[in-house]
Amino acid sequence: DIVMTQTPLSLSVTPGQPASISCKSSQSLLHSDGKTYLYWYLQKPGQSPQLLIYEVSNRFSGVPDRFSGSGSGTDFTLKISRVEAEDVGVYYCMQSIQLYSFGQGTKLEIK
Amino acid sequence: EVQLVESGGGLVQPGRSLRLSCAASGFTFDDYAMHWVRQAPGKGLEWVSGISWNSGSIGYADSVKGRFTISRDNAKNSLYLQMNSLRAEDMALYYCAKDISHLVGATAFDIWGQGTMVTVSS
Protein backbone atom coordinates (compact mmCIF):
# COMPACT_ATOMS: atom_id res chain seq x y z
CA ASP A 1 0.00 0.00 0.00
CA ILE A 2 1.17 3.52 -0.75
CA VAL A 3 1.46 5.75 2.30
CA MET A 4 1.03 9.49 1.85
CA THR A 5 2.71 11.75 4.41
CA GLN A 6 1.87 15.45 4.68
CA THR A 7 3.77 18.18 6.48
CA PRO A 8 3.01 20.26 8.36
CA LEU A 9 -0.18 18.92 9.93
CA SER A 10 -1.29 22.45 10.69
CA LEU A 11 -0.32 25.96 9.76
CA SER A 12 -1.48 29.43 10.64
CA VAL A 13 -1.08 32.07 7.96
CA THR A 14 -1.66 35.83 7.82
CA PRO A 15 -3.98 36.85 4.97
CA GLY A 16 -2.00 37.87 1.93
CA GLN A 17 0.98 35.72 2.89
CA PRO A 18 2.02 32.53 1.10
CA ALA A 19 1.52 28.99 2.36
CA SER A 20 3.10 25.70 1.38
CA ILE A 21 2.18 22.09 2.11
CA SER A 22 4.38 19.10 1.41
CA CYS A 23 3.21 15.62 0.50
CA LYS A 24 5.51 12.62 0.20
CA SER A 25 4.52 9.20 -1.10
CA SER A 26 6.11 5.90 -0.10
CA GLN A 27 6.38 4.90 -3.77
CA SER A 28 6.76 6.80 -7.00
CA LEU A 29 3.49 8.08 -8.42
CA LEU A 30 4.88 8.22 -11.96
CA HIS A 31 2.92 5.80 -14.14
CA SER A 32 4.26 4.03 -17.22
CA ASP A 33 1.87 6.22 -19.27
CA GLY A 34 3.99 9.23 -18.28
CA LYS A 35 1.41 10.76 -15.97
CA THR A 36 1.84 11.27 -12.26
CA TYR A 37 -1.30 10.51 -10.27
CA LEU A 38 -1.15 13.01 -7.43
CA TYR A 39 -4.11 15.21 -6.49
CA TRP A 40 -4.93 17.89 -3.93
CA TYR A 41 -8.27 18.40 -2.17
CA LEU A 42 -9.57 21.04 0.20
CA GLN A 43 -12.24 20.27 2.75
CA LYS A 44 -13.69 23.52 4.05
CA PRO A 45 -15.31 23.47 7.49
CA GLY A 46 -18.60 21.59 7.42
CA GLN A 47 -18.30 20.79 3.72
CA SER A 48 -17.42 17.88 1.48
CA PRO A 49 -13.95 17.80 -0.08
CA GLN A 50 -13.39 19.67 -3.32
CA LEU A 51 -10.80 18.94 -5.99
CA LEU A 52 -8.16 21.64 -6.36
CA ILE A 53 -5.29 20.15 -8.35
CA TYR A 54 -5.10 17.07 -10.58
CA GLU A 55 -2.03 15.24 -11.88
CA VAL A 56 0.40 17.28 -9.78
CA SER A 57 0.01 20.72 -11.27
CA ASN A 58 -3.28 21.19 -13.13
CA ARG A 59 -5.87 23.42 -11.52
CA PHE A 60 -9.37 21.99 -11.59
CA SER A 61 -12.22 24.02 -13.05
CA GLY A 62 -12.93 27.18 -11.08
CA VAL A 63 -9.87 26.96 -8.81
CA PRO A 64 -8.18 30.35 -8.35
CA ASP A 65 -4.72 30.77 -9.82
CA ARG A 66 -3.24 31.53 -6.40
CA PHE A 67 -3.21 27.73 -5.95
CA SER A 68 -0.38 25.83 -7.62
CA GLY A 69 1.01 22.33 -7.44
CA SER A 70 4.44 21.00 -8.21
CA GLY A 71 6.68 18.00 -7.71
CA SER A 72 7.58 14.67 -9.18
CA GLY A 73 8.15 11.04 -8.25
CA THR A 74 7.52 10.94 -4.52
CA ASP A 75 7.75 14.59 -3.44
CA PHE A 76 5.00 17.10 -4.05
CA THR A 77 4.02 20.59 -2.90
CA LEU A 78 0.86 22.65 -2.86
CA LYS A 79 1.41 26.39 -2.71
CA ILE A 80 -1.00 29.22 -2.08
CA SER A 81 0.57 32.44 -3.26
CA ARG A 82 -1.57 34.77 -1.15
CA VAL A 83 -3.81 33.17 1.44
CA GLU A 84 -7.36 34.43 1.73
CA ALA A 85 -9.90 33.86 4.50
CA GLU A 86 -11.89 31.48 2.27
CA ASP A 87 -8.89 29.14 2.03
CA VAL A 88 -9.30 27.83 5.58
CA GLY A 89 -9.89 24.12 5.93
CA VAL A 90 -8.04 20.85 5.69
CA TYR A 91 -5.92 20.08 2.64
CA TYR A 92 -5.38 16.49 1.54
CA CYS A 93 -3.10 15.00 -1.05
CA MET A 94 -4.24 11.78 -2.72
CA GLN A 95 -2.58 9.20 -4.94
CA SER A 96 -4.36 6.98 -7.43
CA ILE A 97 -1.56 5.01 -9.08
CA GLN A 98 -2.37 2.08 -6.78
CA LEU A 99 -6.06 2.29 -5.96
CA TYR A 100 -6.43 5.38 -3.76
CA SER A 101 -4.96 6.73 -0.55
CA PHE A 102 -4.95 10.12 1.15
CA GLY A 103 -2.48 11.99 3.29
CA GLN A 104 -3.40 12.72 6.91
CA GLY A 105 -4.49 16.24 6.07
CA THR A 106 -3.07 19.70 6.80
CA LYS A 107 -5.27 22.15 8.64
CA LEU A 108 -4.90 25.74 7.46
CA GLU A 109 -6.12 28.53 9.71
CA ILE A 110 -5.95 32.29 9.41
CA LYS A 111 -3.95 34.33 11.93
CA GLU B 1 -27.13 20.76 -11.33
CA VAL B 2 -24.84 17.83 -10.64
CA GLN B 3 -25.87 16.22 -7.38
CA LEU B 4 -25.15 13.15 -5.28
CA VAL B 5 -27.43 12.34 -2.36
CA GLU B 6 -26.52 9.58 0.06
CA SER B 7 -28.96 7.75 2.30
CA GLY B 8 -29.21 4.65 4.44
CA GLY B 9 -26.92 5.58 7.31
CA GLY B 10 -27.89 5.13 10.92
CA LEU B 11 -27.17 3.37 14.19
CA VAL B 12 -26.30 -0.31 13.89
CA GLN B 13 -24.94 -2.87 16.32
CA PRO B 14 -21.52 -4.45 15.80
CA GLY B 15 -21.75 -7.48 13.55
CA ARG B 16 -24.93 -6.31 11.82
CA SER B 17 -25.45 -5.07 8.26
CA LEU B 18 -26.41 -1.82 6.58
CA ARG B 19 -26.94 -0.79 2.97
CA LEU B 20 -26.06 2.69 1.78
CA SER B 21 -27.48 4.28 -1.36
CA CYS B 22 -26.42 7.22 -3.48
CA ALA B 23 -28.79 8.89 -5.94
CA ALA B 24 -27.10 10.73 -8.78
CA SER B 25 -28.53 13.48 -10.94
CA GLY B 26 -27.39 16.18 -13.34
CA PHE B 27 -24.91 14.05 -15.30
CA THR B 28 -24.82 10.89 -17.39
CA PHE B 29 -24.37 8.40 -14.56
CA ASP B 30 -23.29 5.42 -16.66
CA ASP B 31 -20.41 7.40 -18.20
CA TYR B 32 -18.47 7.50 -14.93
CA ALA B 33 -16.94 5.31 -12.28
CA MET B 34 -18.22 5.92 -8.75
CA HIS B 35 -16.73 5.57 -5.28
CA TRP B 36 -17.38 5.50 -1.57
CA VAL B 37 -15.02 7.46 0.68
CA ARG B 38 -15.42 7.64 4.45
CA GLN B 39 -14.33 9.95 7.21
CA ALA B 40 -14.35 8.88 10.84
CA PRO B 41 -15.33 11.64 13.30
CA GLY B 42 -12.51 14.17 13.52
CA LYS B 43 -10.29 12.09 11.22
CA GLY B 44 -9.08 12.16 7.62
CA LEU B 45 -10.39 10.70 4.40
CA GLU B 46 -10.26 6.99 3.59
CA TRP B 47 -11.19 5.54 0.22
CA VAL B 48 -13.49 2.55 0.72
CA SER B 49 -14.48 1.19 -2.67
CA GLY B 50 -14.88 2.06 -6.33
CA ILE B 51 -16.78 0.66 -9.32
CA SER B 52 -16.28 1.32 -13.01
CA TRP B 53 -19.02 2.55 -15.32
CA ASN B 54 -20.16 -0.93 -16.31
CA SER B 55 -19.35 -2.70 -13.01
CA GLY B 56 -16.56 -4.53 -14.82
CA SER B 57 -13.85 -3.25 -12.49
CA ILE B 58 -14.28 -3.06 -8.72
CA GLY B 59 -11.82 -2.26 -5.96
CA TYR B 60 -11.89 -2.29 -2.18
CA ALA B 61 -9.71 -1.02 0.60
CA ASP B 62 -8.09 -3.84 2.56
CA SER B 63 -9.97 -2.68 5.66
CA VAL B 64 -13.35 -3.60 4.13
CA LYS B 65 -12.50 -6.37 1.67
CA GLY B 66 -14.70 -9.39 2.18
CA ARG B 67 -17.23 -7.46 4.27
CA PHE B 68 -18.42 -4.66 1.98
CA THR B 69 -19.88 -4.95 -1.53
CA ILE B 70 -20.24 -2.05 -3.95
CA SER B 71 -22.77 -2.13 -6.76
CA ARG B 72 -24.57 0.21 -9.12
CA ASP B 73 -27.80 0.32 -11.09
CA ASN B 74 -27.31 2.52 -14.12
CA ALA B 75 -31.00 2.37 -14.99
CA LYS B 76 -31.76 3.97 -11.63
CA ASN B 77 -28.72 6.32 -11.54
CA SER B 78 -27.84 4.79 -8.20
CA LEU B 79 -24.78 3.54 -6.34
CA TYR B 80 -24.90 1.19 -3.37
CA LEU B 81 -22.67 -0.09 -0.59
CA GLN B 82 -23.69 -3.26 1.25
CA MET B 83 -21.86 -3.33 4.56
CA ASN B 84 -21.80 -6.59 6.51
CA SER B 85 -20.12 -7.59 9.77
CA LEU B 86 -19.84 -3.97 10.82
CA ARG B 87 -17.21 -3.02 13.35
CA ALA B 88 -16.71 -0.03 15.63
CA GLU B 89 -13.93 1.18 13.33
CA ASP B 90 -16.39 1.40 10.42
CA MET B 91 -18.17 4.27 12.15
CA ALA B 92 -17.82 7.25 9.83
CA LEU B 93 -19.46 9.70 7.48
CA TYR B 94 -19.71 7.89 4.16
CA TYR B 95 -19.40 10.01 1.02
CA CYS B 96 -20.47 9.03 -2.45
CA ALA B 97 -18.09 10.49 -5.04
CA LYS B 98 -18.13 10.74 -8.81
CA ASP B 99 -15.00 9.85 -10.73
CA ILE B 100 -13.59 12.03 -13.49
CA SER B 101 -13.27 8.91 -15.65
CA HIS B 102 -15.22 5.76 -16.43
CA LEU B 103 -12.49 3.55 -14.95
CA VAL B 104 -11.26 2.73 -11.45
CA GLY B 105 -7.65 3.63 -10.77
CA ALA B 106 -5.40 6.44 -12.01
CA THR B 107 -8.30 8.86 -11.57
CA ALA B 108 -9.78 11.27 -9.04
CA PHE B 109 -13.13 12.37 -7.67
CA ASP B 110 -14.65 15.64 -8.77
CA ILE B 111 -18.13 15.61 -7.24
CA TRP B 112 -18.95 14.56 -3.68
CA GLY B 113 -22.22 14.15 -1.85
CA GLN B 114 -22.85 15.50 1.64
CA GLY B 115 -22.42 12.09 3.22
CA THR B 116 -24.48 9.74 5.35
CA MET B 117 -23.40 8.90 8.89
CA VAL B 118 -22.94 5.31 10.02
CA THR B 119 -22.72 4.74 13.76
CA VAL B 120 -21.68 1.32 15.00
CA SER B 121 -22.45 0.81 18.65
CA SER B 122 -24.16 -1.65 20.96
In the prediction, which pLDDT does A39 show?
98
Rounded average pLDDT over A39-53: 98
Total Cβ atoms within 10 A of residue A27: 13
Contact A103 B112 (CB under 8 A): no
The pLDDT confidence band at residue A102, using thresholds 50, 70 and 90, is very high
Q: With an 8 Å Cβ cutoff, is A50 touching chain B?
A: yes
Contacts of B47 in chain A (CB under 8 A): 99-102
- Find all residues with CB under 8 Å of A83, minimum gap 6, and list them: A13, A14, A15, A16, A17, A18, A19, A108, A110
> Number of A:B CB contacts under 8 A?
56
Considering only CA atoms, which of B63, B60, B100, B27 is closest in space to residue A60?
A: B100
Task: Specify whether the CB–CB gap between B89 and B67 falls below 8 A.
Answer: no
Cis amide bond preceding A15, omega within 30:
no
Considering only CA atoms, which of B22, B14, B27 is closest in space to residue B49?
A: B22
Q: pLDDT of B55-109, one tens digit each?
A: 999 999 999 999 999 999 999 999 999 999 999 999 999 999 999 999 998 899 9
The pLDDT confidence band at residue A4, using thresholds 50, 70 and 90, is very high
Total Cβ atoms within 10 A of residue A11: 16
In the prediction, which pLDDT does B122 show?
94
Q: With an 8 Å Cβ cutoff, is B23 touching chain A?
A: no
Interface mutation target, options B5, B70, B109, chain A, most CBs of A under 10 Å = B109
Q: pLDDT of B24-46, one tens digit each?
A: 999 999 999 999 999 999 999 99
Contact A104 B108 (CB under 8 A): no
CA gap B117, B3 in Å, rounded: 18
Rounded average pLDDT over A3-25: 98
Mean of the per-residue pLDDT values of chain A: 97
